[in-house]
Amino acid sequence: MPREKPSANSRIGAGIFVSGRVQGVGYRFFTERVAARHSILGWSRNLPDGRVELEIEAEEEDARKFIKELEKGPAMARVEEVNVDWKPCAGRFKNFTIRV
């Protein structure tokens, strides 16, 4: 039996918090590059407590691949934890940006 195409409802959103040595090591720029590879929309920013926060929307499979890469990070980073809060896709983003 042929597989059906994924529906438009396969888009998903997520709020993500990344902790570890993720500031001052190019982590946000890394997220921007990886987001472009996986068609991720949303943003990333540094938090005062040393974590990086992201809000994303994407096809579920792309979002999961993106998060796998976030767990590794760029060479100078040391990712200790990635917390993901899955949520419905609200269609709020047109691109991926770094927020200051």
Residue 19 tokens read as 């902790």
Q: Pick from 76, 84, 94: which is nearest to 18 by CA?
A: 84
Nearest-angstrom CA–CA distance, 55 and 48: 17
DSSP H helices, 1-100, are 27-37, 60-72
Q: Residues 11, 46, 51, 95: which is the catalytic one? A: 46
Residue 93 tokens read as 């983003």
Q: Residues 28, 37, 83, 99: which is the catalytic one? A: 28
Check if 46 is active-site. Answer: yes
Could you list the active site residues?
28, 46
